[in-house]
Amino acid sequence: MPVLNMVQAINLALKEEMQRDDSVVILGEDVGKDGGVFRVTEGLYDRFGAQRIIDTPLAESGIVGAAIGMAVYGLKPVAEIQFMGFIYPALDQILSHASRVRARSRGRFSCPLVIRTPYGIGIKAPEHHEESTEALFCHTPGVKVVVPSTPYNAKGLLMSSIRDPDPVIFLEAARLYRMIKEEVPEGEYTIPLGQARIAREGSSVTIIAWGSMLHRTLQAAEGYDAEVIDMMTLSPFDEETIYNSVKKTGRVVIVHEAPKTCGFGAELSASIAEDAMLYLRAPVMRVTAYDVVMPTAKLEDYYTPDVSRIRKAVEEILKY
Amino acid sequence: MPEKIIESFQIRRLDILNEKGEANGPLMPALSDDLIKKMYELFILLRTFDRYALNLHAEGRIGTYASVLGQEASQVGSALAIEKSDWIFPSFRESGVYLSMGYPPRMLLQYWSGDERGSRVPDDLNIFPVCVPVGTQIPHAVGAAAAAKYKGDKIAVVSYFGDGGTSKGDFHEGLNMAGVMKLPVVFICQNNHWAISVPLKQQTASKTIAQKAYAYGFDGIQVDGNDVFAVYKATKEAVDKARQGGGPTFIECVTYRMSDHTTADDAKRYRSQEEVDAWKSKDPLLRLKLFMEKKGLWSEQYGKEIEEKTKEIIEKEVREKESTKDPDPKDMFTYTYTNLTLRQMKQMKEVES
């Protein structure tokens, strides 16, 4: 079984889905001959040609808008937005249209597209290259939000996302692209959307994370009897896995690299308070980035949760 | 080295039917008498629908409505040139396009009364539901055209928008992409001179809107948007060209919005009565009627019959719309995703109880 990093695993998922289904096409900036700025689409242009790997003009709203038109006409477009910080011009298309095609047309048309975008810290890039604005999309009914944390999961989740009949925002932690390798089988396997996984079992505290924060969280959990949940899909999210863990541990720490206010941690925290409060032995704690404009390289490590901040929260919550 | 001119351009303008109802023979498209009568009958249908919709709004029986009065030629003329297999991405002022394509009037009224079941496009029509955000439907048409080209379907995709829509970024992104990819798409701009209260001269500094196409590498043409024959001819040529692989076309229909922007607007606040009166003489219905009279296609009796027949149709449609029961609150949940999420299921139960 090949040992692949995240970039290679995603590339493999795209290649296999394109082989399987002629209606899958890729569009975006530099996705063709260049193979994408992170090389995620490398080799696909040579294999599938300019008809299916479409280098578009530089136009985020146009890319997503055109992908919507392709999807409603019967293709399965996978649009790449080069960095999540560049997705703002396309928000109108995602929020006003992709999420509403099915509802607005009362089921006559659907919009089976995937928008892939690298997100998050760790690549020491200029402004607008390291944002983590998943909550914007989780607050939008009609789109699904998927965040893989390992190469194996990335492939299985991307295959499910491409086959999903609804629009999926697929977030790839840029920091993880080449950080970890693992065995990734060739050929078809899917991981269902909407399911979390227990990345580490434990019984004294539940720590919830996703994407690149999962790996810091696993590191921070060492030495504790901590259960770590990898969300994998943020919208719709897996309430059952979370509540079952809360019942077991009674303590919850949520870790994310987006700012605290109205981040997805707020949703999880409120949901646990509503539905599992009687199992809690301590307040739900959030370890997040600060409520500031995403800083560039020199300060990004201060901005984002690190192992010591996560451990501090765990120590704090264990005192209750 | 001396300075030199490396590019210059010309914009064509098409006029066929003048205000006296006289048609320019050599330019006149070959239209059967039946098709000309269909144009007239759709004009009457549209005007009647519009009048009833405005009345229903005044009586509080439907919500906000966007009138199409004055733009009938742009809508009927273009829609009749489009095939049923073609795809249409309209804005929110295309009742005339919907009705010309055969969309049931009661469903349009249902939509404007806040019942989203009116947006369920009949299966035999490829027209998209009303798009309220301005200009954002343009890239959708471009994407659908790209998909049709990829699949080898010989169809055209038509996008409608107003002069205000041409100020949006999506207009540029969509037209640029269509030009680069040489897609089978027709952009129809109904330049009705007003984007709510902002007049055309504050919308764009270019002399025509049609000339914008030049920058994207394809043809732009201006037509008299109150001349149903000119609109029909330009659209027919553009959709035929698209289907034959000739790429995109931009059509600017110069017309005028005779009503307020919507029922929530009062145009008297920002435009003069003189301007509105000046456009009355350019009425698209009047000149078609004069033309038909000269050809012996129109008589008092025919006019009366059509008006009565149309009134009956619309009244029946209004009755049907009004006798439709309100939607089930569960409908809110049904179409967000293909399948309900667990959370939606819980919320739906709450609504049921």
Catalytic machinery residues of B: 257, 261, 270
Question: Angle formed by the axes of helices B342-352 and A239-249, to 10°?
Answer: 100
Residue from the list A56, A72, A105 with its beta carbon closest to the beta carbon of B120: A105
What's the average model confidence in pLDDT over B152-174? 98
Give residue B1's pLDDT.
83
- Kindly list the residues from chain B whose CB atom is less than 8 angstroms away from the CB atom of residue A70: 143-144, 146-147
For residue B340, the chain A residue with the least C-alpha distance is A236
Give residue B98's pLDDT.
98
Q: Which ranges constitute the DSSP H helices of B152-207?
A: 169-181, 200-203
Contact yes or no for A141 and B176 at CB 8 A: no
Residue from the list A66, A164, A239 with its beta carbon closest to the beta carbon of B342: A239
Provide the 10 A C-beta neighbour count for residue B82.
Answer: 25
Residue from the list B128, B147, B173 with its beta carbon closest to the beta carbon of A75: B147
B353 has a pLDDT exceeding 90: no
Q: What percent of chain B has pLDDT over 70?
A: 100
User: What residues are paired with B32 via a beta bridge?
Assistant: none
* pLDDT per residue rounded down to tens, chain A (320 residues): 899 999 999 999 999 999 999 999 999 999 999 999 999 999 999 999 999 999 999 999 999 999 999 999 999 999 999 999 999 999 999 999 999 999 999 999 999 999 999 999 988 888 999 999 999 999 999 999 999 999 999 999 999 999 999 999 999 999 999 999 999 999 999 999 999 999 999 999 999 999 999 999 999 999 999 999 999 999 999 999 999 999 999 999 999 999 999 999 999 999 999 999 999 999 999 999 999 999 998 999 999 999 999 999 999 999 99
In the β-sheet with A144-146, what is the strand arrangement from edge to edge? A53-55, A24-28, A76-80, A114-119, A168-173, A144-146, A233-235
CA atoms within 13 Å, Cβ hemisphere of A69: 35
| 3-class state of residue B249 by DSSP | strand
CA distance B262 to chain A (A): 21
- Outline where DSSP puts E strands in A212-251: 226-230, 233-235
Q: What percent of chain B has pLDDT over 90?
A: 98
Measured in Å, how far apart are chain B's first and last C-alpha atoms?
Answer: 82
In this predicted model, what pLDDT tens digit does every residue of B250-292 receive, in sequence order? Answer: 999 999 999 999 999 999 999 999 999 999 999 999 999 999 9
Q: Quick one: tokens of A10?
A: 């995603």
Instruction: Decide if A275 touches B, using CB distance below 8 A.
Output: no
| A170 Ramachandran zone, left/alpha/beta (phi>0; psi -120 to 50) | beta
B5 has a pLDDT exceeding 90: yes
B306 has a pLDDT exceeding 90: yes
Q: Quick one: tokens of B268?
A: 């008297």
For A:81-100, CB contacts with B below 8 A are 89, 92-93, 96-97
Give kind and range of the element (H or E) at residue B48.
helix B33-58
Residue A114 contacts residue A77 (beta carbons within 8 Å)? yes
Contact yes or no for B144 and A65 at CB 8 A: no
- Kindly list the residues from chain B whose CB atom is less than 8 angstroms away from the CB atom of residue A69: 89, 139-147, 157
Quick check: pTM over 0.90?
Answer: yes
What's the average model confidence in pLDDT over B288-314? 98
Give residue A1's pLDDT.
87
> In sequence order, what are the residues at sequence separation of 6 or more whose Cβ sits closer than 8 angstroms to the Cβ of residue B212?
B166, B175, B206, B220, B250
Question: Cα A200 to chain center, whole Å?
Answer: 19
Confidence of residue B312 (pLDDT cuts 50, 70, 90): very high
Residue whose token pair is 């082989």: A19
Cα distances from A91 to residues A29, A98, A120, A233, in angstroms, run: 17, 10, 18, 20
Residue B69 contacts residue B47 (beta carbons within 8 Å)? yes
Provide the 10 A C-beta neighbour count for residue A175.
Answer: 22
What does the alpha-carbon distance between residue B334 and residue B324 come to, in Å, rounded to a whole number?
Answer: 19
Give residue B352's pLDDT.
87
| 3-class state of residue B15 by DSSP | coil
Question: Angle formed by the axes of helices B228-243 and B33-58, to 10°?
Answer: 110
Q: Are strands A252-259 and A168-173 parallel, antiparallel or unpaired?
A: unpaired
Cα distances from B169 to residues A84, A90, A92, A98, B174, in angstroms, run: 19, 11, 11, 18, 8
Burial of B312 (0-12, 13-18, 19+ CB in 10 A): exposed
Q: Quick one: tokens of A167?
A: 């629009």
What does the alpha-carbon distance between residue B349 and residue B352 come to, in Å, rounded to a whole number?
Answer: 5
Residue A70 contacts residue B147 (beta carbons within 8 Å)? yes
- Kindly list the residues from chain B whose CB atom is less than 8 angstroms away from the CB atom of residue A97: 133, 136, 140
Q: Quick one: tokens of B14?
A: 């098409």
Query: Hey, of B111, B170, B335, which one would you mutate to test binding to chain A, going by the most A CBs within 10 A of its CB?
Result: B335
Instruction: Decide if B19 touches A, using CB distance below 8 A.
Output: no
In this predicted model, what pLDDT tens digit does every residue of B180-193 receive, in sequence order? Answer: 999 999 999 999 99
In this predicted model, what pLDDT tens digit does every residue of B217-242 receive, in sequence order? Answer: 999 999 999 999 999 999 999 999 99
ipTM of the complex: 0.93
As a dihedral over the C-alpha atoms of residue B303, residue B307, residue B313, residue B315, rounded to 10 degrees, the angle is -170
- Outline where DSSP puts E strands in chain B: 12-14, 87-89, 157-162, 185-191, 194-195, 198-199, 219-224, 249-254
Give residue A124's pLDDT.
87
Q: Are strands A168-173 and A182-183 parallel, antiparallel or unpaired?
A: unpaired
CA atoms within 13 Å, Cβ hemisphere of A279: 21
Based on C-alpha coordinates, what's the Rg of chain B?
21
User: What residues are paired with B2 via a beta bridge?
Assistant: none
For residue A62, the chain B residue with the least C-alpha distance is B173
Which among B276, B278, B302 has a CA at the least distance from the CA of B288?
B302
Which among B330, B291, B351, B313 has a CA at the least distance from the CA of B108?
B313
